[in-house]
């Protein structure tokens, strides 16, 4: 049965502060470690009011320092925003501080708008088209020392930090397969090409020093509660955030509401439902049924959950119930 993990954006609640968000992130990570989660990943986004995880490597270090066994990493770092050398140095440093616990997931999108992407790289010529070469460069910096290499990642060289490719299309799926890397699909917000991407990844997979066989992770937006009715109510926080993304607004975490009917149009409701098509919302029994179906249909080796609820207590309970459901499926 699939492993299970958490993806976090350190979302800031409406009226809250980044400091509050970080304290909640550290608390969730500590609980996740006790509940058997495999890894705790943080995602890079920029110029998005409500998202606190822009300095991803810094936050990874804080989470790793607050825990002791769970793997911690990026889901992901957006490689077009950075020099591969800098990323290798950052994650080489993290690996030196927390040996054997750091993952480096990388994506080819900027994780922001074009104006922000330009501000991040200052016109250095990085594009999504150059992503395959930058991935190879990054892997080389993290690999064994080479006598004639003029530029070395110190720290980073020889660390062999596991590199994952992330994607919401078939491009990164095929590249991950050809390079023999683990692949994570962003079906927690862009599920349309999930099955095509998984098929292409597995068909193109070539054995590598890192993997003998394909290893796929699938993103699942999830809301778990003690009853189906309560889960549906809590999920309105997730619906409101997805709606704000569609409208181009700030995505601060908002309190749940009893009904969404007056908040969205029929067309917007349809768009939100499509974004969350691979979601799992419900009480324990509904949850087990839904998660079993996702694992069976995707064949995923691992699920990575987002469960970004307004009240911290509800979020903790959601992740606790998700862990119980995954363990029940394995018993």
Which token pair is 199? 């098929």
The values of phi and psi at residue 152, to 5°, are: -125, 145
Does residue 116 surpass a pLDDT of 90? no
| 34: number of Cβ within 10 Å | 12
Tell me what percent of the residues of the chain surpass a pLDDT of 90.
85
Residue 110: band (very low, low, confident or very high) from pLDDT cuts 50, 70, 90: low
Does residue 121 surpass a pLDDT of 70? no
Does residue 13 surpass a pLDDT of 80? yes
> How do residues 71-89 score in pLDDT, each as one tens digit?
999 998 999 889 999 999 9
Mean pLDDT, the chain, whole residue set: 93
CB 91 within 8 A of CB 104: yes
Residue 46: band (very low, low, confident or very high) from pLDDT cuts 50, 70, 90: confident
Q: What is the pLDDT of residue 148?
A: 79
Residue 128: band (very low, low, confident or very high) from pLDDT cuts 50, 70, 90: low
Does residue 114 surpass a pLDDT of 80? no
Does residue 119 surpass a pLDDT of 80? no
Does residue 97 surpass a pLDDT of 70? yes
Burial of 45-71, coded b for 16+ CB within 10 Å and e otherwise, reads bbebebbbbbebbebbbbbbebbeebb
Burial of 285-317, coded b for 16+ CB within 10 Å and e otherwise, reads ebbbebbeebbeebebbbbbbbbbbbeeebbbb
Q: What is the pLDDT of residue 117?
A: 67
CB 164 within 8 A of CB 104: yes
Scanning the chain, the segments in alpha helix (DSSP H) are 18-34, 56-66, 84-97, 114-121, 131-142, 170-179, 194-204, 228-247, 266-275, 284-298, 312-330
Q: What is the pLDDT of residue 150?
A: 85
> How do residues 135-163 score in pLDDT, each as one tens digit?
999 999 999 988 778 899 899 999 999 99
Q: What is the pLDDT of residue 126?
A: 52
> How do residues 262-280 score in pLDDT, each as one tens digit?
999 999 999 999 999 999 9
Does residue 236 surpass a pLDDT of 90? yes
- Residue with tokens 């970004």, as numbered in its chain: 308
> How do residues 307-318 score in pLDDT, each as one tens digit?
999 999 999 999
Q: What is the pLDDT of residue 142?
A: 96
> How do residues 162-200 score in pLDDT, each as one tens digit?
999 999 999 999 999 999 999 999 999 889 999 999 999
Q: What's the CA gap between 211 and 65, in Å, rounded?
A: 28
Residue 111: band (very low, low, confident or very high) from pLDDT cuts 50, 70, 90: low
Which token pair is 222? 């999830």
Does residue 125 surpass a pLDDT of 60? no
Which token pair is 4? 């299970």
């Amino acid at each position: 049965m699939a492993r299970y993990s958490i993806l976090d954006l350190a979302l800031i609640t409406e009226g809250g502060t980044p400091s509050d968000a970080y304290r909640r992130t550290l608390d969730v990570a500590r609980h996740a470690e006790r509940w058997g989660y495999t890894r705790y990943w943080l995602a890079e986004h920029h110029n998005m009011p409500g998202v606190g995880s822009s300095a991803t490597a810094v936050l990874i270090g804080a989470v790793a320092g607050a825990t002791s066994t769970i793997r911690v990493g990026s889901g992901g770092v957006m490689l077009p925003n950075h020099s591969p050398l800098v990323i290798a140095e950052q994650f080489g440093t993290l690996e030196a501080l927390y040996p054997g616990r750091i993952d480096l997931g990388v994506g080819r999108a900027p994780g922001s708008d074009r104006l922000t992407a330009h501000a991040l790289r200052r016109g250095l010529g990085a594009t999504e088209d150059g992503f395959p070469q930058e991935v190879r460069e990054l892997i080389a910096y993290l690999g064994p020392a080479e006598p004639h290499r003029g530029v070395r990642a110190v720290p980073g060289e020889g660390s062999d930090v596991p590199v994952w490719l992330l994607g919401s299309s078939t491009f990164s799926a095929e590249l991950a397969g050809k390079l023999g890397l683990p692949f994570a699909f962003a079906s927690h917000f862009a599920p349309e090409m999930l099955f095509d991407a998984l098929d292409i990844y597995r068909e193109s997979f070539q054995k590598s020093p890192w993997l003998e066989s394909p290893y796929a992770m699938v993103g699942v937006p999830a809301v778990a509660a003690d009853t189906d009715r309560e889960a549906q109510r809590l999920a309105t926080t997730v619906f409101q955030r997805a709606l704000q993304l569609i409208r181009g607004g700030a995505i601060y975490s908002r309190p749940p509401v009893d009904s969404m009917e007056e908040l969205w149009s029929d067309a917007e409701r349809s768009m939100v439902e499509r974004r969350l098509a691979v979601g799992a919302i419900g009480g324990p029994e509904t949850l087990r049924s839904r998660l079993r179906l996702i694992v069976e249909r995707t064949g995923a080796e691992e699920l990575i959950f987002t469960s970004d609820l307004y009240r911290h207590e509800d979020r903790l309970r959601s992740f606790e119930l998700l862990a119980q459901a995954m363990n029940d499926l394995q018993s």
